[in-house]
A and B are shown apart, each in its own frame.
Chain A
């Protein structure tokens, strides 16, 4: 047995134990990318470095064996820094988007590509729920949103953007024709929250809090809720459309108190009677730092964002940590030029929808035009996870030319996105261990090292036995199944 110290704690491990295994024994969690239990150590990513105190050296814990008397530190400031730098180097050559540009541009953060894929698969109800969850007013915004998302659509460089606004309008419209509300009503688990003002910001705050299980009461001085949404002309936003969406709010359990003017005295009363208060009314909230405010802005979708942010703040105050934040690291591919777009589109859409041809009236056909720019592994990607945890700086190596736009290899439902590959070699090992022929191999050398299929064999044939294990062992979204949808599970 070997006696050693990890983070000052004495450990006893059998000979042949790696530092990583020894650290796991003490409960210390060391990040790894190129390591997978049961496979030979790759020792390539270097994210798992730890400090060996006696020599002061950083060593890769996945492959260095424990030695008698060692003094190992897994989470010092230097180690943290070293891991962050390694992650930043890997990210500097990461040619891929974590999130699609359209979603990044949406002030309300609508998961547009996911919604479009649901529509393309005929899962309209799911699509409507996604739109409702993120946009809070999917039908109304389907009419009045200034749709900044469409400006970012990568297809725009090729022919024209996917008609995103039209898509969530139709999805919500069809849904509300059949159903009463987007989500089934659940009993309020949390105390009451008051929202003053029922413009888009107030509605968004109310909706979001309602979805999180609060008992929400909205106070509106006018006879009907809607605030500035009522100011649109009948052509811009027909009154019945707004009413239909608001009906869904009511059925979701949101209480509207109309014709209720909230003055300063009333505000004091609301603060006393409710556990939380969101003021979505400019004349009441302006300049008040002691109040949680959400304001309507020129563009309704920005008002929605303001309302959602206020709602998240309420959640935070209630110490709920499962807040869906956008704080996760977001790798960005950057602009794609006209010259690159054809290459980029290869295997991302079927050849039939390479050209526009159809009109947005056929929602399914329109949604199929989406290029799936977002990652296939937005949740399981270890690189993204650690980049977030170690606070990697996206522009750490400024001035570096953007990596070339990668093509996508696809065979059946199996995808290989070379731009997201970190050359860890795990898939190569898995294929080898399954006896797959020809399997995969590293080709080239140095910075130009690539994972490829020998002699250009088809991908699925190359991995006939090991495909699914290769996908699951891949630390990023480089290997994936096109029909896998992490965000829905």
Chain B
């Protein structure tokens, strides 16, 4: 696409020409051109307050911005923790191979696809996940890449329009069919299912409404479809595919049109003729909510932030209000109106309530929420900001995404209450650009709130005015750190600054700014509605309430769960998650992502509360909960996390910029079998430097994965120095071989990507160690377990 000044001019007209509009302008430009053309940037500098220095430094800081043209489509291979432990690296290599990418290039020769790695798509239960443009593929296998690309190209030719603002249709009397439209469900194919459903219902002449509902949380079973008919027990179907819809619907809803009824009868007769065991019958999809596994998954959970999970339509404001939404805000507002002398008793009352509830920040560090609010309240300023931090960048965590997608009104209400209590004037949703659905839903929800009078000047005829806008991140994990977030809101590089002064004193443009995590804000309306005591009754003494975790990794039932604080790590794995997948043994649970650490199986009794986790060397973090089994190598996991933080370090302070690099180099060496005596001591020394002297939380907590791994699995590090990987994971340290148990089925030879196994039917196969790339495909596929690793 050639450069057109009028287009840039139009964007500038829309966003404004002030320096702080920079990131928004860049997003708009990239949407227009798929990359940032040099001329467009030059034009920008010449026709706005944005300086060349600002443009260059910001564009190069955020990985979300591109200077080079992309292919027609972008393939994003997720490298989040859950995907990583399920082989994301092999998927990436397989895609690169399938596209025949020249070395050092990310776009194929025809310019069709651009390949990139993303920190986390937030579809951890679908791991490994790949996103092509806006279509997500889950459970991708490295031998299915061509099929995936074919499927995409086929569907890209006739795209299905996504309904962004589904109308509210349910009146609750004729029943409804609920379909999950969270990102996990969408990735599982729920859009296609919905299209098929509507077509089927239309053919049947049925008027039963189809309702889009929030994330159900049972992400390992997506897409989910629930049929609710008056007088009948709800029926839940899991892993539904578009072609199954007709049969499922037929079980519950009688045909209204005669012709169609006849057609169906005939079809069924034919089906009966050919039926065999290999065909899945509709009843196979049924997921019995009362059944053991689902009951276990749901039991023990306690839904506050995710209240009405799987029932509520994310964008139905009336429904939200009907279910008690905005009542907490309205009562605060009414109190404000009756507080005629305006001496701030209402503000203090709200803060006291939050204080009594014991609510602590859910973003990671667990700072008492009321304390922060009080500082902002006390700060004297004409203008105060309230920011919802939705820049959830932890690989392996997706609760903020789910909350924003499913309960945008709840978060908005939480922000309104926070703003009312602290005299906030302007709200900002800071949301990762990797979460397009969340951005879309929140934007729409804000629009509806404005229309309904919940946002704007003099809300409900009170003296309280509040506006909220959405700011998108651009792929920098560090922007989850509040001072870095504020820098990027102001259109600068997302580098943190020294605290104090805290944002609560001096934040956006020097004004006092309240920054709260998404989940924290989502809990606020519940607390105000049910009272502080109801909340503090849940959880432990110092960690009140509930916590949302994204349960993923080597687990039977992954998903988004909300549990009372204090539940043990083991109980979450065993009772809710159904234990470790494939009958393997639990090795550790990684909590808190790159800032957290590994809790070993021997400490599975550790309760999830801030203090207990910190004591064990991990950290609550934002709530990633990745289960590792005995086949996971702790050195390799540590190297994975460090490579993440090293890549995401902003580069400002020496300890983090250089220290993380040096640390990663040592871990790289260990994984490559080049470890040396003294490496462990150097890791500890670097960890100490980073912890004690880094400028911000990212650097200070980055060594945690290293420290916990060394604390609980030091012998694995020592083994690597001695050239052995006990878990059989580190490629440089392992060899595959085939035992005499081989039955000569040739499956291994067929999947081997490097031709290291010659195909010899009915003979014992052999792996050529020189050609072997240690991808483990043969190990996975062998039906008689004759491929061994040492």
Contact = CB atoms under 8 A, between A and B. Distances in A.
Nearest to A41: B498
B693 A46 contact: yes
A85 B498 contact: no
B360 to A, nearest CB: 21
Contact of A446 (B657, B662, B693): B657
Contacts of A92: 658, 662
B654 A86 contact: yes
Interface centre among B493, B497, B500, B653 (most CB of A within 10 A): B653
Interface centre among A45, A401, A455 (most CB of B within 10 A): A455
A447 B61 contact: no
Interface in A416-459: 422-423, 428, 432, 437-449, 452, 454-455, 457
Contact of B685 (A43, A85, A90, A455): A85
Interface in A38-74: 41, 43-47, 49, 57-58, 60, 63-65
Contacts of A86: 654-655, 689, 693
Contacts of A442: 57, 61, 493, 651
B661 interface: yes
Contacts of B653: 43-46
Given A43-B498, A49-B693, A454-B56, A447 B682 contact: no
A89 interface: yes
A400 interface: yes
Interface in A4-31: none
Contacts of B689: 82, 85-86, 89
A452 B56 contact: yes
B53 interface: yes
A400 B662 contact: yes
Contacts of A401: 665
Interface string B21-46: 00000000000000000100110010
A41 B41 CA distance: 30
Contacts of B56: 441, 443, 452, 454-455
Interface in B670-704: 676, 682, 685, 689, 692-693, 695
B651 A93 contact: no
Given A446-B648, A447-B660, A64 B498 contact: yes
A21 to B, nearest CB: 16
A454 B38 CA distance: 12
Contacts of A455: 38, 41-42, 45, 52, 56
A318 interface: no
B54 interface: yes
Interface residues of B, number: 45
Given A82-B693, A399-B669, A445 B476 contact: yes
A397 interface: yes
A447 B656 CA distance: 9
Nearest to B500: A65
Interface string B53-85: 111110011010000000000000000000000
Contacts of B51: 437-439, 454
Contacts of A58: 692-693
A422 B654 CA distance: 9
B136 interface: no
A456 B722 CA distance: 48
Given A86-B689, A89-B689, A441-B57, A448 B498 contact: no
B144 to A, nearest CB: 34
B598 interface: no
A89 B693 CA distance: 12
A428 B51 CA distance: 13
Interface string A368-384: 00000000000000000
Contacts of A65: 500
B52 A437 contact: yes
B658 A89 contact: yes
A440 B53 CA distance: 6
Contacts of A57: 692
Contacts of B41: 455
Given A428-B53, A455-B56, A449 B676 contact: no
Nearest to B669: A399
A14 B152 CA distance: 67
A470 B493 CA distance: 22
Contacts of A446: 646-651, 657, 660-661
A442 B692 CA distance: 25
Given A441-B57, A452-B56, A447 B493 contact: no
Contacts of B693: 46, 49, 58, 82, 86
Interface in A313-360: none
Interface in B634-657: 646-655, 657
Contacts of B692: 57-58, 82
Interface string A72-116: 000000000010011001101100000000000000000000000
A65 B676 CA distance: 43
B659 interface: yes
A420 to B, nearest CB: 14
Contacts of B669: 399
B19 to A, nearest CB: 12
A443 B676 contact: no
A403 B536 CA distance: 54
B665 A447 contact: no
A453 B45 CA distance: 14
Given A454-B53, A454-B55, A447 B646 contact: yes
Nearest to B55: A454
Given A45-B654, A441-B57, A442-B493, A447 B661 contact: yes
B51 to A, nearest CB: 7
Interface centre among A43, A82, A446, A449 (most CB of B within 10 A): A446
A310 B208 CA distance: 103
A399 B654 contact: no
A445 B662 contact: no
A442 to B, nearest CB: 5
Contacts of B666: 399
Given A43-B498, A43-B695, A89-B689, A447 B654 contact: no
Contact of A399 (B52, B497, B676): B676
Contacts of A439: 51-53
A47 B682 CA distance: 20
Contacts of A452: 56
A448 B651 contact: yes
Given A64-B498, A440-B53, A455-B52, A445 B654 contact: no
Nearest to A62: B498
A432 B54 CA distance: 11
B246 to A, nearest CB: 51
Nearest to A455: B52
A97 to B, nearest CB: 19
B310 to A, nearest CB: 39
Given A92-B658, A447-B657, A432 B53 contact: yes
Contacts of A432: 53
B471 to A, nearest CB: 19
Contact of B52 (A423, A428, A438): A438
Nearest to B679: A399
A46 B61 contact: no
A449 B657 contact: yes
Nearest to B685: A85
B497 A445 contact: no
A442 B57 CA distance: 5
20 contacts: A43-B497, A45-B653, A46-B693, A46-B695, A58-B692, A60-B498, A64-B498, A85-B685, A86-B655, A86-B693, A90-B658, A399-B666, A400-B662, A401-B665, A422-B654, A423-B651, A432-B53, A439-B53, A442-B57, A449-B657
Given A90-B654, A92-B662, A444-B61, 13 more contacts: A44-B653, A45-B654, A63-B498, A89-B654, A89-B655, A400-B665, A423-B652, A438-B51, A445-B60, A446-B650, A446-B661, A447-B646, A454-B53
| CB-based closest 10 A-B pairs | A449-B651, A454-B52, A441-B53, A438-B52, A443-B60, A454-B56, A441-B57, A89-B658, A446-B649, A446-B651
